[in-house]
């Protein structure tokens, strides 16, 4: 298959696939001649890639032309599209054109249709490397398990779950941690009869080397939703200590809570069309609506409005120069206390 189409925002996994193709196809002794690395953001280099893909290799091994940020399946100019369609039938079996882009191919483009036709005919291959969304726990677990398989490692299910909680969608860190865990687990303890190569990464190893659960602004939102402000502040402290900008946290929380509010209000109106709810709430993936509905079941819309009001106070404090930790504590801890006191004061009157 002389044409390879790789896409997705998982840079680490995509990079491993590229390195694997190079190692398999290109003779190291002839790599300086038969391996080209080009940048598709430059139209001249994109055209150059098509020309080199038609040129037979010299010496042993195959020729591989790697075009990073390929334009051919995303906003491809008409001139380059014409050149690609003319080139595809002329690529010899000894040459490999590797098209790489972070974005998913646009199926409406004629260049994408031409490449996918070759995929169906077995003359090209397409591989996607999308990262799971930060809220997609099942997708993050699958990312951990897939990365372990790609690295040739065995991983206990509980260890995979712990890694998923600790790392999330950070694919580069995941690969690094798995390699460290593999070395750790292959160092057999004294008196163990099991061969080193058979060591499986265990939950205990993950807890020893990787540490506890990571956090994100979305985890903070979940804690606030369940009325656990102290837990939310602890998570916020971890985010701030890790260098996350405070205003970015506020923006993420605002988007998350507004999404919950929209889903809540539309559910109250009896709206059943998931796509319509996603569009109204500004959510790109309609499947997320099912997850959000479970999260907010039984929660009144007034809670979301109160959280948004507190976030507004936090944002105002941050822009006045208040330290991030103090701004979040005043907004969420004191705000929650004030909200609990107000009904009591009203009853006493």
pLDDT of residue 337: 53
pLDDT digits (tens, 9 = 90+) for 237-248: 888 887 778 898
Q: Which CATH architecture is the domain 217-339 placed in?
A: Up-down Bundle (1.20)
- The region of weakest confidence among 59-63, 143-147, 269-273, 322-326 is 269-273
How high is the mean pLDDT of the chain? 85
Distance between start and end Cα atoms, the chain: 80
Range 3-128 has CATH code 3.40.50.300: yes
Task: Report, as an integer, the average pLDDT of 67-76.
Answer: 92
More confident residue, 5 or 348: 5
Query: If you ran DSSP here, which 8-state letter would residue 187 be given?
Result: S
pLDDT at 127 over 70: yes
The pair of structure tokens assigned to 7 is 């896409």
pLDDT digits (tens, 9 = 90+) for 29-58: 999 999 999 999 999 999 999 999 999 999
Q: What residue segments make up the domains of the chain, in order of their start? A: 3-128, 137-209, 217-339
Strand ranges of the sheet holding 95-101, from the earlier edge strand across to the other edge: 35-39, 63-68, 95-101, 3-7, 124-128
**Cα separation, 120 vs 35, whole angstroms:** 27
Give residue 193's pLDDT band: very low, low, confident or very high (50, 70, 90): very low
Task: Report, as an integer, the average pLDDT of 162-189.
Answer: 81
**Cα separation, 56 vs 277, whole angstroms:** 54
Cβ partners under 8 Å of residue 242, min gap 6: none
pLDDT at 186 over 50: yes
Residue 316: CB atoms within 10 Å: 12
**Cα separation, 42 vs 132, whole angstroms:** 30
pLDDT of residue 332: 84
Give residue 336's pLDDT band: very low, low, confident or very high (50, 70, 90): low
**Cα separation, 159 vs 164, whole angstroms:** 9
Domains 137-209 and 217-339 share a fold: no
pLDDT digits (tens, 9 = 90+) for 134-144: 667 788 889 99
Task: Report, as an integer, the average pLDDT of 24-33.
Answer: 94
- The region of weakest confidence among 118-122, 229-233, 337-341 is 337-341
CATH of 137-209, one of 3.40.50.620, 3.30.540.10, 1.20.1740.10, 1.10.8.60: 1.10.8.60
155, 144 in Cβ contact below 8 A?
yes
């Amino acid at each position: 298959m002389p044409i390879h189409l790789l896409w997705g925002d998982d840079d680490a996994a995509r990079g491993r696939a590229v390195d694997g193709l190079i190692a398999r196809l290109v003779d190291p002794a002839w790599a300086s001649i038969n391996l080209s690395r080009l940048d598709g953001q430059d139209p001249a280099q994109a055209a150059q890639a098509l020309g080199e893909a038609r040129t037979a290799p010299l010496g042993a091994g195959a020729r591989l032309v790697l075009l990073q940020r390929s334009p051919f399946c995303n906003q491809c100019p008409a001139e380059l599209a014409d050149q690609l369609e003319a080139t595809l039938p002329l690529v010899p079996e000894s040459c490999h054109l590797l098209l790489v882009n972070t974005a998913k191919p646009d199926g409406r483009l004629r260049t994408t249709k031409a490449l996918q036709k070759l995929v169906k005919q077995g003359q090209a291959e397409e591989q996607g490397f999308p990262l799971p969304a930060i809220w997609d726990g099942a997708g993050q677990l699958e990312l951990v398990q897939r990365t372990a398989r790609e690295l040739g490692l065995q991983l206990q299910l509980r260890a995979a779950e712990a890694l998923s909680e600790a790392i999330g969608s950070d694919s580069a860190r995941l690969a690094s941690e798995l390699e460290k865990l593999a070395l750790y687990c292959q160092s057999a303890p004294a008196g163990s009869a099991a061969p080193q190569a058979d060591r499986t990464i265990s939950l205990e190893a993950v807890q020893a080397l990787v540490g506890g659960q990571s956090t994100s602004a979305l985890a903070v939102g979940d804690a606030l939703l369940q009325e656990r402000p102290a837990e939310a502040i602890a998570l916020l402290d971890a985010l701030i200590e890790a260098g996350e900008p405070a205003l970015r946290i506020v923006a993420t929380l605002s988007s998350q809570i507004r999404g919950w509010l929209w889903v809540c209000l539309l559910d109250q109106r009896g709206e059943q069309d998931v796509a319509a709810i996603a569009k109204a709430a500004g959510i790109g993936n309609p499947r997320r609506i099912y997850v959000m509905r479970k999260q907010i079941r039984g929660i009144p819309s007034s809670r979301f409005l109160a959280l948004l009001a507190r976030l507004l106070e936090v944002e105002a404090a941050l822009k006045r120069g208040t330290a991030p930790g103090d701004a979040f504590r005043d907004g969420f801890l004191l705000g929650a206390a004030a909200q609990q006191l107000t009904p009591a004061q009203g009853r006493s009157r």
